[in-house]
């Protein structure tokens, strides 16, 4: 099965070239869709100079946010499987085959990579870790799920499913939105352990406390919304 690997890029000039080289080296049938989300640090120029097999680059004239960049990638994706890959080298592309395997084998429609399930990852020592744990706890309480890492950056879907469910958010809140919608539909999310190398704000990390609060609010809002209002196909205006 062909995998469309969507890489949202916003001001990641220090890591984007190496990240895409690692993705290109992964031995799966794939296309790589890098979406430059209005970068102003030279990432756009780096992407323009890269020549890698299967790489397609799409540019946004202005910054829309991660959700907007992922949506652009989804609209252009041609694979049966879609995988979202951050450009910051926190996650290891060599683990892509193990992430897509449950879908390829017909055992799942959605797979999340869990940083928590890998005991070899660094010990928690940052507010980002505890913020993620809080979001996951709220998700499990509201939706009856048993996830360990709801806000993970590694999310894998059957293209047909995510296109049918869709989402509206343009920012980081696309992640709790799509998770909530999948759980409301009764879709089982399978988790697989992943390697995680966290970076700090000074190194370019873009998440902030307000993003965690917005994630919690999104989960609450969608839990209370009628299911008819929750569903919105990807290509809907």
Asked if the structure places residue 237 within a domain, the reply is: no
For residue 235, tell me if it sits in a domain.
no
CATH number at residue 201: 3.90.550.10
CA nearest to 66, candidates 192, 151, 4, 125? 151
Per-residue pLDDT band at 206 (split at 50, 70, 90): low
pLDDT at residue number 204: 46
In a domain, 175, yes or no: yes
Q: Is the pLDDT confidence value at 235 over 60?
A: no
Residue 97 lies in a domain: yes
Q: Has this prediction a pTM greater than 0.85?
A: yes
Distance, CA of 64 to CA of 116 (rounded, Å): 30
Q: How many domains does the chain have?
A: 1
Residues 120-127: contacts with CB under 8 Å, at least 24 apart: 120/195, 121/195, 121/196, 122/196, 122/197, 122/198, 126/198, 126/200, 127/209
How do residues 175-200 score in pLDDT, each as one tens digit?
999 999 999 999 999 999 999 988 65
3-state secondary structure of 138: helix
pLDDT > 50? residue 203: no
Q: β-strands 155-158, 189-193: how paired?
A: unpaired
On the question of pLDDT at 148 being above 90, the answer is yes
Domain that holds residue 143: 3-230
The answer to whether residue 236 sits within a structural domain is no
Residue 40 lies in a domain: yes
Tell whether the model's pLDDT for residue 236 goes beyond 50.
no
Tokens, residue 25: 């080296």
């Amino acid at each position: 099965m062909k995998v469309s690997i969507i890489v949202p890029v916003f001001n990641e000039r220090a890591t984007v070239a190496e990240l895409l080289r690692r993705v290109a080296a992964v031995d799966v049938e794939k296309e790589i869709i890098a979406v430059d989300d209005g970068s102003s640090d030279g990432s756009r120029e780096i992407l323009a100079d890269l020549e890698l097999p299967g790489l397609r680059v799409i540019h946004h004239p202005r910054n829309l946010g991660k959700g907007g960049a992922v949506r652009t990638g989804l609209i252009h994706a041609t694979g049966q499987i879609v995988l979202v890959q951050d450009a910051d080298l926190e996650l290891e592309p060599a683990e892509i085959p193990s992430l897509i395997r449950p879908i390829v084998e017909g055992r799942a429609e959605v797979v999340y990579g869990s940083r928590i399930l890998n005991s070899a990852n660094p010990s928690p020592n940052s507010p980002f870790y505890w913020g993620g744990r809080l979001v996951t706890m709220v998700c499990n309480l509201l939706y009856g799920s048993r996830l360990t890492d709801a806000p993970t950056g590694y999310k894998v879907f059957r293209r047909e499913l995510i296109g049918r469910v869709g989402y509206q958010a343009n920012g980081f809140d696309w992640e709790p939105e799509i998770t909530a919608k999948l759980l409301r539909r009764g879709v089982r999310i399978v988790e697989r352990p992943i390697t995680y190398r966290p970076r700090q704000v000074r190194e370019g990390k873009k998440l902030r406390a307000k993003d965690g609060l917005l994630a919690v609010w999104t989960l609450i809002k969608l839990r209370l919304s009628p299911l008819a209002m929750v569903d919105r196909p990807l290509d809907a205006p």
